[in-house]
């Protein structure tokens, strides 16, 4: 089995007091997080071999990686070997920040589409007020649920549709290597049963969906007592 590590890292300095962090923010919050976590895994030209998720309301992150993170004094780092014990039929609580997107072939090229933004264009008049905020409309909520439920089997999970919660829908815009990037994120929580331990391990180690380099795709699971 390929070794993985699970870390919780906490930023020890406040961004407002650090010139480098303030400069990063000019590229967008997602790019700042991206650059911060890359700093834990130095190696010019190496492919990204980690996933991360920023914890809401604090300067901390969960990280799953193939290498041990390097502590350079910027973070407090707590790391352990990541060896999830996955047994078919086990009930789990899961948590996922995902980029709910689909790829479509347009004029011979694959184009990525945000399923919730597409759903927004189909809103009824009664739903329009919700569309002006981060609150999901009924149409958007349905699109988000369908996106996850259609893919859960490929992650080795049988998700209880009645347990599924969606929140914190956000649209992100940032600049990366001179390019403007836009993507969305949506947080999912729910109850699922392990259907295929091997597929689930791959999902836990390698992540789910797109925008993994910007804090999406890290699947978190916990066995129900």
C-alpha to C-alpha distance for 184 and 131, rounded to whole angstroms: 14
Mean pLDDT of the chain: 86
CATH of 91-223, one of 1.10.3720.10, 3.40.190.10, 3.30.70.100, 3.30.70.1210: 3.30.70.1210
Best-predicted range by mean pLDDT (20-24, 39-43, 156-160):
156-160
pLDDT of residue 127: 53
**CATH topology for 5-81?**
Alpha-Beta Plaits (3.30.70)
pLDDT of residue 156: 98
What's the pLDDT band for 132 if we cut at 50, 70, 90?
very low
Token look-up 């990280």 returns 63
| Nearest to 117, CA basis, from 183, 58, 161, 211 | 183
pLDDT of residue 198: 97
What's the pLDDT band for 124 if we cut at 50, 70, 90?
low
pLDDT of residue 139: 83
Report pLDDT digits (tens) over 141-178.
898 999 999 999 999 999 999 999 999 998 888 876 77
State pTM to two decimals: 0.86
Whole-number Cα distances in Å, 221 to 22, 60, 149: 34, 18, 16
Tokens linked to 53: 């998720």
Report pLDDT digits (tens) over 81-91.
999 999 999 99
Average pLDDT value for residue range 56-78: 90
Average pLDDT value for residue range 24-29: 78
b/e code 184-194 from CB counts within 10 Å (16+ = b): bbbbbebbbeb
pLDDT of residue 106: 58
Beta-sheet strands, E only, within 66-205: 75-81, 91-98, 101-106, 109-114, 157-159, 165-176, 179-194
b/e code 7-35 from CB counts within 10 Å (16+ = b): bebebeeebeeeeebeebeebbbbbbbbe
pLDDT of residue 199: 98
Average pLDDT value for residue range 15-25: 76
* Domain ranges within the chain, ordered by starting residue: 5-81, 91-223
Q: Is 5-81's fold the same as 91-223's?
A: yes
% residues pLDDT > 70 (the chain): 87
């Amino acid at each position: 089995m390929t070794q993985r590590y699970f870390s919780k890292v906490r930023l020890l300095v406040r961004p407002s007091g650090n010139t480098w962090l303030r400069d990063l923010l000019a590229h967008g919050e997602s790019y700042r997080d991206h650059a911060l976590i890359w700093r834990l895994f130095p190696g010019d030209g190496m492919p990204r071999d980690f996933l991360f998720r920023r914890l809401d309301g604090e300067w901390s992150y969960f990280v799953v990686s193939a290498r041990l993170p390097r502590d350079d004094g910027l973070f407090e780092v707590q790391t352990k070997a990541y060896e999830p014990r996955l047994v078919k039929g086990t009930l789990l609580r899961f948590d996922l920040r995902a980029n709910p997107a689909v790829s479509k072939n347009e004029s011979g090229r694959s184009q990525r589409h945000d399923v919730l933004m597409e759903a927004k264009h189909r809103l009824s008049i009664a739903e329009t007020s919700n569309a002006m905020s981060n609150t999901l409309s009924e149409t958007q909520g349905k699109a988000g649920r369908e996106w996850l439920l259609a893919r859960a089997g490929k992650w080795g999970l049988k998700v209880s549709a009645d347990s599924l919660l969606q929140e914190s829908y956000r649209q992100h815009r940032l600049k990366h290597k001179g390019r403007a990037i836009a993507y969305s994120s949506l947080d999912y929580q729910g109850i699922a049963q392990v259907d295929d331990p091997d597929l689930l391990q791959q999902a836990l180690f390698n992540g789910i969906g797109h925008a993994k380099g910007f804090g999406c795709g890290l699947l978190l699971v916990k066995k129900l007592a």
